[in-house]
Amino acid sequence: GFAAALFLLPTLALSLLPTASLPPFLAGTGWTDWLHRALIFLVVSCPCALVISVPLSFFGGIGGASRQGILVKGGNYLEALARTETVVFDKTGTLTRGTFEVTVIHPQQLSEQELLELAALAEHFSTHPISLSIQAACRPAPDPARVTDVKEIAGRGVQAVVDGRTVLAGNQKLMDQFQISFEDRCRHMGTIIHVAGDGEYAGHIVISDQPKPEAAQALSDLKAAGVRRTVMLTGDAEPVAKAVSAQLGLDEYHAGLLPGDKVDQIETLIAAKKSKENLAFVGDGINDAPVLSRADVGIAMGALGSDAAIEAADVVLMDDDPAKIALAMRIARRTLRIVYENIVFALAVKFACLLLGAIGMASMWTAIFADVGVMVIAVLNATRALYTKDLVRKSQP
């Protein structure tokens, strides 16, 4: 209401003073013709076309995206997505399947089954994909009653008491934190889970996670959609991150990151980007929530993603398909193009009719067309944002 008042008050002032009052007063002519021109000025300057068609275009874009399984939480996020030129990915569950499998077991002073059972018990109460894969590999399943005092250490692993022994299961940073020494001779590719019991190193388990089949094509589509830079952030070791990055064709990667390190890295990337471009972060885990909130556009995987990530995100991909990111950007950019088309068309017609009306060459019917007719045309143009089938075809390999 306040914005409409700001627009209407100057319009009334222009129509009543310069158009309806000053020319008859200065020239000494009749008031009827100039009052008629003032009324034409008022009708033409009505902002219906802009007020209705612009938000309707954004609603159409949001509706078209939702038909493709892309939930956008507002028109401002759709606009921000259209201006995105840097896309940052979390690795696990986003670019990769997130379904880990135990591929190698290297025990030390234990048998393979004993090491796997010790790790499975320590990880029993965790829902992390890595923990679930270790539990799935351990058959028969051990008795969870043997586990007490479980403590998750963010970004590193877990600590638990198993059969009275203090067991650690996690990455190398967890071993360093508790000063557990070992020789790192493993050359197998994958995520390495180190296990220690009562302060002594017990061995490690290698877990592999494969990239999603559509991930490479998704990154190629992003480049085609105008994304200038793709980045991967992961807590995995450098060799794993390097192999995945090379396989998918990412521009850069940063490995060995804790959740807090990811936020710091996002801050660095935001500081390095251009002022008018946006940065999007794509993730699915509970540890990704702070990064999703900090990015200009947060994109969450909705099918397997955590509730915290979905809540913090601005855009949610309901089927976890990274190829939908490029589709969402195409929808956003076409929606913004339709908005600009409506603005330029409406203002051009209105300014032309205002000029014709001021010199007496426009009738009231011309004014009605400049108001209602332009509004109808702009609304029909806005409905184009609802249809996204042509964009889906473009996003497919």
Interhelix angle 323-358/31-44, nearest 10 degrees = 180
- Known catalytic residue: 90? yes
Q: Which of 90, 209, 284, 288 is catalytic?
A: 90
Token pair 């990667």 is at which residue?
253
In this structure, are strands 147-153 and 157-162 parallel, antiparallel, or unpaired?
antiparallel
CB 349 within 8 A of CB 26: no
In this structure, are strands 229-233 and 84-90 parallel, antiparallel, or unpaired?
parallel
Catalytic residues: 90
